[in-house]
Structure 1
Amino acid sequence: MRHIVCFILLLGFFKSYSQTGNYFLSHYSPGKERFSNVCFDMVQGDRGVMYFATRSGVLEFDGRNWDLISGNGAVYSLQLNRQKEIYWSGTNGYGKVDTSVPGDHKLKVLSGEGVSDVYKNLIVNDKLYFVTEQAVYIEQKNQPVTIIKASNLTGSFGTIFELFGAVYINTQRGGIFKVGDDKLLRSALDIPADADVTFSSGMNNFYILGLSNNKVLLTGEDLRMKELNMEDQAYADASVVVNGNWVNRDLFVLGTLRGGMIFVQSGSGNTQEIVNYNTGLPDNEVYTLMLDKSLCVWAAHEYGFTRVAPYLPFRSFSHYNGLAGNLLCATSFEGKEYVGTSLGLFRLEKEEVYDEITYYEEVEVKPNKSQPSGKTKTPAGKDEKANPSQESKKKGFLQFFRRSRDEEKTTATEKDKSTTAKDNEAAPKDSSPKKTYRSVKKTQRVLRSSQYVYKKVNGIDAKVTQLFELDGKLIAAGLAGAFEINELTAKPILEEPILTGYASANLDVVLFSTYASEVRVFQPTEDDQWKSLNFLENVDDRIDAMVDGIGHELWLCALDKAYRLDIADGQVKNIQTISIDNPTYNNITCIHWNNDIILANDQGFLRFDRQKNIFEHIDSLAKPIHYFSDGENILYNDNHAWNILGKAHGQSNLQLLNLLQNLRFVSIDQNAENLWLITENNELYKFFGEKFTPYEAGNQPLLRAVRNNDTKVDLLNFEVSQNKSTVTFEVIQPDFLAPQSIEYRYRLKGLDEDWSEWSTNNYIINYPYLPADDYILMVQSRDIFGKVHELANVTFEVLPPYWQRPWFYALEFFVFSGLVLLSFRLSNRYRIISRLLSLLTIIMLIQFIQTVASATFETKESPVTDFFIQVVIAFLILPVEGYLRNLMFRSVDPSSRLYRFLEPKAGISRGKDNVS
């Protein structure tokens, strides 16, 4: 509940801003070899793993890995019951997804023989409903299957849906019926007679229903249907609504065939956001929708899957029309967004935008009077095609694709003939001639709500690399020079290529480092002009960064040195040169913070010690992997987390920056809580750092697979042999926010004394060799929010070689005992054989003792060390060997006590001889 409230507050915050930006999108694609371009349904398992119903089976995705659970046919629908079990239905019937064995998931068939083409399933109150065109199969635990068959009254079955625990179904002829235990009842729902229900979605005490005429109904427990007046109803009509889902109690989303997704406020009907190709969606044709545990919307389309995260404090600004070139910098100024690119400077402006929707409409073909009645000839060269929009209106988007699964095996003409024949068989017999339709391509220009577009700032036609302010003036700098920006007009300040610029608040001037190794200084005048100052005309070095110091102190930073300048009355009074440790000549950034001058490069952070007049390393800060500066702050990543050093120090939620890989520009906005971000793939985002604390429940890590010498291990009987003890564990925490940033650490109890270091690569754990012992593998994962999750302990045993196992020791003991007894039995008649057996027994016994001792005290550190240990063991065993030899050889003497103990009969016989 907490994250829903936060989400609503966040939406209200974004609504209060003029340029809100677009939702944050993440795209996933399994590749052509695993994806058939059509996904019919989606569900998220209780452990966080995503499952997709496709033509090839059930596709499984944990954020990193794609796996296909093949079912020898298409799967159309997936449902999750209260026990978190996943049920499927498809061409081969219906059943359950068996995920009990890690790495070996299967589709278990539950349906009887002859059941096929089950295009939809639904789970309500522990009852499972599986629907075909001609029957509804109702499964319930410990009860026989109930079958409700279609009749002439109903015709074929269509979409099945649920309202407040009751189940309803669309039919071809009879409208909507309520599904009872074993029969169909007339429905009292107030649904227009000419419309079918294409989807239903419930949250709290309200349901939304989508109709085949693209209308949306809202209803409470009284089942009084209220049509929602949507702001963009015209856009929905042109796009064809096929599915929908609640996002939270105040927002729902609609999926369309031609217009992407429409996020609508349930109270007012206003459009919150339209996610389509123009805002980053790869394709406007949305197959199906789903809401995951983190309140993110998944959409399936031809190119894979897109995850929309409305609650994240990121907004995209790179998909508005008009923006051109590679993005280089961005800032907000006087409520407007400016973006510098390789082609100039652009500003985001509000204007009306029209969307052009292309669609097909069914037009009746007038019969030719020269033709027999009821038979219409198709124009030559043109085959009639099924209209997707009309099919979707009948039975939903799924039906359209389910029916066309065999298109690859038939020609267009054969398909039309078979479809016509099938329709004629299903329809009631009528003597009147049948109407024939053909698809006609049409284009409709639909007015969208007022949107924003980028407009180019006049006067700049080259790369803009920097934007900053001085005294309420916006300055743009780049290869064309430096310009003062006024609305959509640029006034030149300096017309030569600029390397970097800086606005000095202490000196009230702007400084520009040029590619000619000069530093040019300009000061604004009262008549809105710029006056050139010449007090730095003697600088002859490449200056990469500039910053104000204490008072009128100015710092200029080159690649290997820094210049400290004391400036008074517009003149340089003193210059000091300080060396910088930068052996790789990487870019340097610098800031003035807490009366210190701080530099950053790939060697770490440096602080200027004024007493020693040198830059010293700050040991308390790790070396930055990535670092950016806006002149007042340094934002850096130390390979684990993002941090800020400077005026904005302490800003929260920076860990969310791990969502964006390979950042190449970061700038702090006028509001220090917000950041502008540009990624390597030319995406521009605005990050609202303090306005919302994101909520992600997080999932427990899973043991995805265990391999022993490239062979999968049966976890129910996890034992490996020491001579083949190469064991590899693959662990994964299902995550779709920042899966590549999940860190892992592990410890193998019985071998490792300490935990490994945190690393994103530790999800694969490999042990090339393990000595014989009992082990417990412990694994922890840490997400970008710092939450630590633990894998359930994995217990397993590495078995020693058979000659080191207890059963083999016991066998050796019995063999030795047998040899001793045999030697005594043969001592009277076969004295030589008895002695040989005794000697063999002593040798085997000594070797046995030495083998056990060597295995116990083996170090595996060095062969030399092990050799000396074996020599010591041999010396220790030597007295034992002598003692045993004397004992065994004496025991052969019939007069010995041991002999009489082992051979009591011989002792009695000898006693009799003595008596006689």
Structure 2
Amino acid sequence: MRKIFLFIALLWCFQAAAQNGNYFLSHYSPGENHSDNVCFDMVQDPSGMVYFATRRGIQRFDGRNWKMITGQGSVYSLQLTSDGQIVWAGAAGFGKLESNGFGDQRLVTLSSETRDVFECVVIQRTAYFVTETQVFVYNLDSNKTDIIPSTNLTGALVGIFELFGSAYLNTERGGVIKIDGQKFSKSGFKFPENEEVIFSCAGDRQYLIALSDNRILLCNENQKIREIKIQDSSYVDASVIVSGSFVNKDLFVLGTLRGGMIFIQTATGRTQEIINYNTGLPDNEVYALMIDRSQGIWASHEYGFTRVAPYLPFRSFGHYPGLSGNLLCATSFEGNVYVGTSLGLFKLEKQDVYDEIVYYVDVEIKRSGKTSEPVHEKDLPETPPTTETESKKKSFWKFFKKSKTTSPVEDKAPLKKDNETTAPKSEEAPRYQKIKKTERVLRASQFVYKKVSGVDAKVTQLVSINNSLIAIGLGGAYEINGVAAKPILEEPVRMAYASRERQTLFLSTYADELKTYQSVNGAWLYSDALENLDDRITSIMEGERDELWFLSINKVYRLQFSGKTVAEIETIDVSNPKFDEQLGVHLGRDIYLVNSEGFFKLDRSKSSFALLDSLPKPLHYFAGDGGIFFNDSHTWSTFGLEGQQNLKLMNLLHDIRYVNQERNTENLWVITSENELYKFFGNRFTPYEDGFPLKLKSVTGNVTINKREVFELDQEKSALNIEFVQPDFLAAQAIEYRYQLKGLDKTWSDWSSQNDAVDFAYLPAGDYSFNVQSRDIFGNIKEFGAVPFEVLPPYWKRPWFYALEFFVFAALVMLSFRLSTRFRIISRLLSLLTIIMLIQFIQTVIGEMFSTKTSPVIDFFVQVVVAFMILPVEGYLRNLMLRSLDSKSRLHKFLSPKSNLASGGDEAVP
């Protein structure tokens, strides 16, 4: 059901009207330590982790952190098996990616002496790995590998792809062939000769296929092939296709060498969207594409990776040509988009825009008889890029094998029919030379910004009143008509408020003056009704019964009107120690005020504002259509506004510095500190994914795993770092974590985005259980199962050492009894030593059992109490052992041969 909703949302999104903006883009880069961003392939595992095949190895990304998994060379291709395992092909051969119990991963090589495996595919439980001369067929269940060598008929192997559960090869001489068990066979598909399959992508019972001549084919389950007639074929040809994929059954995307990403409707071939440098893509040269599990489209390029999210209710308006300066405000007026910047005011208008495409064509060299005219070096055109220089661009390994450069305007061979044969080639092939050409390609759906004449200074606010748009800024106040401006007030204006009930425009100037204007017969007439209110007014709102509220830095003015005159003025002091700009909102009969100290409610009886403890202190706050949007460092919320079902998606944007709500809608204009402009559709249905599970990323420290599969470490080296992650590519930085270490903590930690990694510098001996939870931007909480671990005490505090001590004490006791008959002094010393050691052993055991581990002073008093408790035991044991030794000594003396009793005398022993 969720997929159906996703399709409906995507379809609605793609069919939206003009001036709907560009798709939402997220950019990622590994950073300075990973400057080589050349990526050959991408894949996402079931847990949400994204893996990139690069020159240094496999790059792993979870939305926040990067991890390079190095091997013995470059990795060129990645594939995901049915059980979620990743296999790879690269310079060192082929293998798989394995994990240990601590979250670490490593590259395992399955091949022995094989090198330069440039591509692989996985079909069911079989993996196919391709070199120039061999195909390795690896069974994932039996771990056995069969080898199929190339032949003279096939020539070098160029690439591999999958169609309807079978593997097919691009070959140098034999065209497209099929891998049939342990041999090659005819493909059964009538592809044009000398054209390779650039990619194939499975869809809903059909496959999308791209050929090296930039044609796009659809192949259904009956193996019938239909060519998609692309309307912007000249742009596609000039851009050169290197990768592609279905977005849904009605839309697919192409990654190109020179033109960025092109979204095309499957049924009509019409271009839906072009994502290139002009619309926010850092580079038009796309290396590879991937569709992730949340319907996002990933593109790799020289500057890193870009994720396109067409289903999000954000549309970008900041990348159309013509816009300049720092963005400060934006609004929609009568179906048009206006943006105020530090350099003036701009209007978005439709205009025919042409892209200049540079390409090379093969021109046949004319021959004179049997000999051709020599071509001098000075007559040759500019040298086009060689195969070697373009190898990185042309999907790398696939384009390594091409013997000719694809010309964007060369004639395309028709699809072969079943009964069609190929004409024999002439013995003497014609000679060609490269000619550089430039073509202008019309982009008719492009919009551009045009500057509004007459406004040449910073524009900070846009308001509408009486079907007029008013621009406010350092140049003053202007009435806007299309791309022309008419001045109302030509002095710097700080803010404006348009009272629709009173049909009045209020202007607060930088001279701390409040000026009012009314529109009469198309002219703005000045009124001096409030010329005595001299203060820095930052916000104005309307109350009830002809009330107007004017907010300054530390005061609030209530003006009661009677008709057009002011009948009463009341001044209320407000606590604002940080001198923030204050906003107000009127809800029912109540007046509310907000600044960085919190939300305040007016007590009319006391003429003062009281702090509302039920609401948090806002970090950022903006005025809405009758309410307030605010962020409390955790999420975005509203006060006095209803609806806004998608508001939590505002957490996707970083450092928002401007929010403006369109009147009578839930749509917002948002500007970020990165100078990005978005239109946010608050009421548009957006299909949300459940999110990926919380994952144990790593456990670092002197840790081992015991037989009970429990983490184990010594107390002397108990430093421990536990890192968790919930893979997310919408708002990874906004995901918050909290944890609890049972055995040490009784409560959970606070929610924080920094709690994904927890360090413990020292842990006392004992059994512990680590629990962690994550909370995404929608408030969904996920919990990872408890991670048990044990901190082992020093060896002298372990049970086996106590047992050893007990046996030593027993041996000493036995030895003292043995020596008591002949070596009485030594026996007494051994007995006393045994008693002391035994008492100390008992005291140590009891002290460990009752140790508080909170304060050394308290532990000292506990040990004193224990010593007093076992003191009687010590005396009793000492007397008992000494009495036993004396008795045994007298008995031995009585029974000795020298005694009278032993010799039969009459003398008795007393």
TM-score normalised by length of structure 2: 0.92
Q: Supply the AA of the counterpart residue of 1:332.
A: S
Amino acid at match of 2:841: F
1:342 aligns with 2:335: no
1:163, 1:200 within 8 Å by CA — same for their partners in 2?
yes
Alignment partners' CA distance in 2, 1:43 and 1:909: 97
Letter in 2 for 1:858: S
2:225 aligned with 1:232, yes or no? no
On the 8 A contact 1:81/1:123 being kept in 2, the answer is yes
Residues 5 and 194 from structure 1, CA distance in 2 versus in 1: closer, same or farther, beyond 3 angstroms? farther
2:563 aligns with 569
Q: Distance in 2 between matches of 1:907 and 1:74?
A: 91
1:629 to 623, 626, 632: 623
Query: Take 2:367 and 2:35, find their aligned partners in 1: how far apart are those partners?
Result: 43
For residue 98 of structure 1, report the CA deviation from its aligned partner.
1.1
Aligned to 1:209: 209
SS in 2 for 1:774: strand
The separation in 2 between residues aligned to 1:729 and 1:171, in whole angstroms, is 50
Instruction: Assess if the C-alpha contact under 8 Å between 1:374 and 1:433 holds in 2.
Output: no
Q: Which deviates the most, 10-19 or 578-587? A: 10-19
Maintained 8 Å contact 1:313/1:694: no
Counting only pairs closer than 5 Å after superposition, residues 745-756 of structure 1 correspond to structure 2 as: 745-756=738-749
Question: Counterpart in 1 of 2:24?
Answer: 24
Paired-residue identity, %: 53
Q: Could you list the per-position Cα deviations for residues 233-252 of structure 1 after superposition, in whole angstroms to 9, with x for gaps in the alignment?
A: 11101100111101112111
Shift of 1:437: 5.9
Moved more, 585-594 or 280-289: 585-594
CA distances 1:633-679 after superposition (whole Å, capped 9, x unpaired): 21001111111123x33421111011000000001113421111000
1:862 aligns with 2:855: yes
Report deviation, 1:613: 1.1
Q: Spell out the pairing of 1:281-320 with structure 2 (5 A cutoff).
A: 281-320=281-320
**Deviation digits for residues 360-417 of structure 1, max 9, x if unmatched?**
4455678999999999989999988524799799x8543346999xxxxxxxxxxxxx
* 1:487 lines up with 2:490 in the alignment: no
Q: Is the counterpart of residue 512 in structure 1 residue 510 in structure 2?
A: no
1:598 maps onto 2:592 in alignment: yes
What CA deviation, in whole Å up to 9, does each residue of 1:682-729 have, x standing for no partner? 000001111113312311222222233xx5766966211223322221
Q: Which residue of 2 aligns with 1:550?
A: 544
Once the 2 structures are TM-superposed, how far is the Cα of residue 572 of structure 1 from its aligned partner? 1.3
Question: What SS is found at the alignment partner of 1:892?
Answer: helix
Q: Aligned to 1:823, which of 794, 816, 826?
A: 816
SS in 1 for 2:278: helix
Question: Is structure 2 residue 497 aligned with structure 1 residue 498?
Answer: no
- Counterpart of 1:284 in 2: which secondary structure? coil
- CA offset digits 1:328-368 (Å, max 9, x no partner): 01111111111111111111111211111223445567899
**SS at the partner of 1:756?**
coil
Give the conservation status (yes or no) of the 8 Å contact 2:703–2:711: no
Alignment of 1:447-846 (within 5 A): 447-525=442-520, 527-630=521-624, 632-646=626-640, 648-708=641-701, 718-846=711-839
Further displaced range: 27-36 or 568-577? 27-36
The answer on whether the counterparts of 1:260 and 1:286 sit within 8 Å (CA) in structure 2 is yes
Partner residue, 2:327: 327
Aligned to 1:880: 873
**Cα deviations by residue, 1:201-229 (Å, 9 ceiling, x for unpaired):** 01221111011111111121011111111
Q: Counterpart of 2:571 in structure 1: which amino acid? A: T
1:435 and 1:879 map into 2 onto residues whose CA distance is: 114
For residues 383 and 467 of structure 2, the distance between their equivalents in structure 1, rounded to whole angstroms, comes to: 66
Letter of the aligned partner of 1:2 in structure 2? R
- Is contact 1:707-1:713 (8 Å) kept? no
Letter in 2 for 1:891: S
Distance 1:473 1:367 in 2: 71
More off after superposition, 351-360 vs 6-15: 6-15
Unaligned runs of 5+ in 1: 405-429
* Mapped partners of 2:73, 2:375: distance in 1: 37
2:137 corresponds in structure 1 to 138
- The Cα shift of 1:565 comes to 0.6
Change (3 A) 1:10 1:379: closer
Q: Distance in 2 between matches of 1:814 and 1:367?
A: 107
Pairwise CA distance, 1:160: 1.1
CA deviations 1:269-290 (Å, max 9, x no partner) are: 1211110000000000000000
Q: 1:474 to 1:745 in 2, by over 3 A?
A: same
Q: Which residue of 1 aligns with 2:79?
A: 79
Paired with 2:614 and 2:898, the residues of 1 have a C-alpha distance of 92
Question: 2: CA distance between counterparts of 1:914 and 1:699?
Answer: 95
Indicate if the aligned counterparts of 1:247 and 1:295 stay in contact, CA closer than 8 A. yes
Q: Distance in 1 between matches of 2:647 and 2:134?
A: 54
Q: Return the offset for 1:891.
A: 1.3
Q: Is the 8 A contact 1:11 1:311 kept in 2?
A: no
Contact map agreement 2:2 2:687 (CA 8 A) in 1: no
Q: What is the match of residue 418 of structure 1? A: none
Q: Report the alpha carbon displacement of residue 573 of structure 1 after superposing the two structures with TM.
A: 1.1
2:159 is the counterpart of 1:159? yes
Q: CA deviation at 1:8?
A: 3.1
Q: Report what 1:409 is aligned to.
A: none
Say if 1:677 and 1:684, in contact at 8 Å, map to a contact too. Answer: yes
Change (3 A) 1:92 1:431: farther
2:333 maps to a residue whose letter is F
Answer whether contact 1:35 1:54 (CA < 8 A) is retained: no
Letter in 1 for 2:446: Q
TM-aligned CA deviation for residue 298 of structure 1: 0.5
Q: Secondary structure at the match of 2:650?
A: helix
Rounded Cα–Cα distance in structure 1 between residues aligned with 2:898 and 2:75: 88
Question: Aligned residues, how many?
Answer: 880
Contact 2:382 2:436 in 1 (8 A): no
The answer as to whether partners of 1:367 and 1:375 remain within 8 angstroms in 2 is no
1:197 and 1:211 in contact (8 A); partners too? yes
Q: Is the 2:625–2:664 Cα contact (8 Å) retained in structure 1?
A: no
Contact 1:332–1:670 (Cα < 8 Å) also in 2: no
In 2, are the aligned partners of 1:506 and 1:551 still within 8 Å (CA)?
no
TM-score w.r.t. structure 1 length? Answer: 0.91
Question: 2: CA distance between counterparts of 1:392 and 1:198?
Answer: 15
SS of the residue 2:33 aligns to: coil
Distance in 2, matches of 1:729 and 1:659, equals 26
Q: CA deviation at 1:435?
A: 7.0
> Mapping of 1:382-421 within 5 angstroms?
385-387=385-387, 396-400=395-399
C-alpha contact (below 8 Å) 1:547/1:631 kept by paired residues:
no
Instruction: Rate the CA distance shift 1:823–1:696 in 2: closer, same or farther, 3 A.
Output: same
Change (3 A) 1:186 1:888: same
- CA distance in 2 between partners of 1:259 and 1:364 (Å): 28
Counterpart check, 1:106 vs 2:106: yes
- CA deviation after TM superposition for structure 1 residue 33, in Å: 2.9
Q: Distance in 2 between matches of 1:359 and 1:914?
A: 129
For residues 193 and 401 of structure 2, what CA distance do their matches in structure 1 show? 25
**CA distance in 2 between partners of 1:797 and 1:433 (Å):** 80
SS in 2 for 1:539: coil
Distance in 2 (alpha carbons) for counterparts of 1:847 and 1:402: 81
The Cα shift of 1:779 comes to 0.7
